[in-house]
Amino acid sequence: MTTRGQEFQIGRRGLLAGAAGLSALSLLPGQLRAEDAPKRGGLLRMGIGGGSTTDDFDLRKLNDWVPVNQAYMVMNGLVEIDADNIARPELFESWEAGAGALEWVFKVRQGVTFHNGKALTADDVVYSLNLHRGDSSSAARSVAAAFAEVQKLSEHEVKITLASGNADLPYVLSDYHFLVVPAGFTDWMNPIGTGPFIPESIEPGVRARFSRNPNYWKPGCANVDAVEVIVINDIAARTNALMSGQVQAINSLDFKTVDLLARNKTLQIVRSKGGQHYTFLMDCTQAPFTDVNVRQAVKYAVNREQLLQTALLGYGTLGNDHPIPVTDRFFNTELAQRAYDPEKAKFFLKQAGMDGLKLTLQSSDAAFPGAVDAAAIYRTAAAPAGIEVTIQREPADGYWDNVWMKAPFCMSYWGGRPTADQMLTIAYSSASAQNDTHWANADFDRLLGEARALLDDQKRREIYWELQRMIHDEGGAMIPMFGDYLDGVSKKVKGVTPHPMFNLMGARLAEKVWLDS
């Protein structure tokens, strides 16, 4: 197989199906008028939830909305996912895959410079990719483990040899951990990149300011003179900041206030469907969740429809305890939707030798807007099943360091990934540093590797369907719902469109938009 050119498309019908799910309440793609052509100037103020005083720009540690958005302001990736879920060249200008998708040659874009004036070369790309390989603490370590060799062929050419073939490699390289810094760079509090903005001041967990990169290489981008990021983890405070004009864009709207905000004639609500899903995490290495029967009981004790309509106000779709969304071409359409069934939950508890179960659920709205309310809804639904849930509310600051992947039972979210392989690898492979249920299954790992190397979509589909079934039946994640991405943006901010990858235009809003004069 050889793949060339300016884009990478696999299973276009599936990609278009995903793109068809995009919508906006006040702005749709293609509605720009001639007078709305990009304009230079102004200060863009963003209020973003998902930040902590422990944040920095270490590419290996990026794990929440504020650090990811800020990283994209300073640095570029190798590949960009566009609004149609298609992999587009970024710092990689083009690519070619050899037979079996084992060896890939990428051309590094020329004429790009870092903020310190250094020209981008293959050395920088090789160094940046190697940050995640081998003995690395990177959250993308399990993904990068597939890179058997990353080799510089010339000043502007890189060869990646895989341990096994992967037809989705350009999509894999779009992961936000695979941003590019100069070779040898280690000063993560003072980042240098090739991105649209240059840091002026950074106060982790509080605020940061970035100025426009005058030498930015992308035409029509980096239009505003400066971007100010204010970390506002509290959703009510974030919403008030938007309504008062303190900020012009916020992420992760409270589902309960979306309809009210939509009536405000000065605001636009941007609604994007994608792979974002909300999870109740059971640590499969800690009692009582070491017993698959207990995990099954927990999954049958949730009223998914009630959660979707109450916690998300219908802005989403039902989840079925696996992370692949209905928009993915490999979504298992034959896996029966798990329903609320307290009697079946009791049955599985008896299978585990229990008459009842007492659990402490650690929750915070840092996990997702309305997470504490969702925990309360689950507590009520679980009671008839003999499951007594105590909710332990945690502070937003430090939640990802102190609770996530440490607590036996807690809440979280995933932003989704552009391919099934990426989502399954980063969250469910036993080798992944972000396997947040600590579920390990050797058969799952083996099948995941087999599917990745196949070029036959039908054979891949059969395996991915089985992997979804395995997670659904045995995994430690109870996934009751997928939530739409909901952002609030001032109508003075132009060029905003829905995006299937994350809030705020795939975390790239600052780079893309401009301000109405």
Where are the domain boundaries for CATH 3.10.105.10 in the chain?
273-484
* Residue 10: predicted pLDDT: 31
pLDDT value at 27 more than 90: no
Q: At what angle do helices 442-453 and 420-428 cross, to 10 degrees?
A: 150
pLDDT value at 18 more than 70: no
Q: Could you give phi then psi for residue 115, rounded to 5 degrees?
A: -60, -25
* Residue 100: predicted pLDDT: 82
pLDDT value at 28 more than 60: no
Q: What is the pLDDT of residues 225-249, one digit of tens each?
A: 999 999 999 999 999 999 999 999 9
pLDDT value at 8 more than 80: no
Q: What is the pLDDT of residues 504-516, one digit of tens each?
A: 999 999 999 999 9
pLDDT value at 16 more than 80: no
Q: Which residues have a Cβ under 8 Å from the Cβ of 350 and sit 6 or more positions away?
A: none
Mean pLDDT of 213-224: 97
CB 286 within 8 A of CB 487: no
Say yes or no: domain 43-251+491-515 is CATH 3.40.190.10: yes
Mean pLDDT of 400-406: 95
Q: CA–CA separation, 206 vs 203, rounded Å?
A: 5
pLDDT value at 126 more than 90: yes
pLDDT value at 442 more than 50: yes
Q: Minimal CA–CA distance to 448: which of 488, 408, 421, 486? A: 421
Q: CA–CA separation, 288 vs 295, rounded Å?
A: 9
pLDDT value at 4 more than 50: no
pLDDT value at 89 more than 80: yes
Q: CA–CA separation, 26 vs 23, rounded Å?
A: 9
pLDDT band at residue 19 under the 50/70/90 scheme: very low
* Residue 185: predicted pLDDT: 98
- The tokens describing 417, both together, are 């990934």
pLDDT band at residue 37 under the 50/70/90 scheme: confident
Where are the domain boundaries for CATH 3.40.190.10 in the chain?
43-251+491-515
CA distances from 43 to 229, 251, 273, 513 (A): 11, 18, 29, 11
Q: CA–CA separation, 100 vs 97, rounded Å?
A: 8
Q: CA–CA separation, 428 vs 400, rounded Å?
A: 18
pLDDT value at 143 more than 70: yes
pLDDT value at 1 more than 80: no
Mean pLDDT of 305-313: 93
Q: What is the pLDDT of residues 49-67, one digit of tens each?
A: 999 999 999 999 998 999 9
* Residue 502: predicted pLDDT: 86
Q: Minimal CA–CA distance to 508: which of 256, 266, 197, 236? A: 197
* Residue 86: predicted pLDDT: 87
Using a 10 angstrom Cβ sphere, with 0-12 exposed, 13-18 middle and 19 or more buried, the burial of residue 16 is middle
Q: Minimal CA–CA distance to 487: which of 315, 305, 244? A: 315
Instruction: For the chain, give the percent of residues with pLDDT over 90.
Output: 80
Q: What is the pLDDT of residues 78-88, one digit of tens each?
A: 999 998 888 99
Mean pLDDT of 153-166: 95
* Residue 24: predicted pLDDT: 35
Mean pLDDT of 250-261: 91
Q: What is the pLDDT of residues 163-215, one digit of tens each?
A: 988 989 999 999 999 999 999 999 999 999 999 999 999 999 999 999 999 99
* Residue 5: predicted pLDDT: 34
Average of per-residue pLDDT values in the chain: 91
- Specify the higher pLDDT residue, 113 or 451: 113
* Residue 463: predicted pLDDT: 98
pLDDT band at residue 456 under the 50/70/90 scheme: confident
Q: What is the pLDDT of residues 313-363, one digit of tens each?
A: 999 999 999 999 988 889 999 999 999 999 999 999 999 999 999 999 999
Instruction: For the chain, give the percent of residues with pLDDT over 70.
Output: 93
* Residue 99: predicted pLDDT: 84
DSSP 8-class letter at 99: G
Structural fold of domain 273-484: Dipeptide-binding Protein; domain 3 (3.10.105)
Q: What is the pLDDT of residues 283-301, one digit of tens each?
A: 999 999 999 999 999 999 9
* Residue 70: predicted pLDDT: 98
Buried residues in 462-477 as b, exposed as e (16+ CB within 10 A): ebbbebbebbbeebbb
Using a 10 angstrom Cβ sphere, with 0-12 exposed, 13-18 middle and 19 or more buried, the burial of residue 480 is buried
- Specify the higher pLDDT residue, 14 or 252: 252
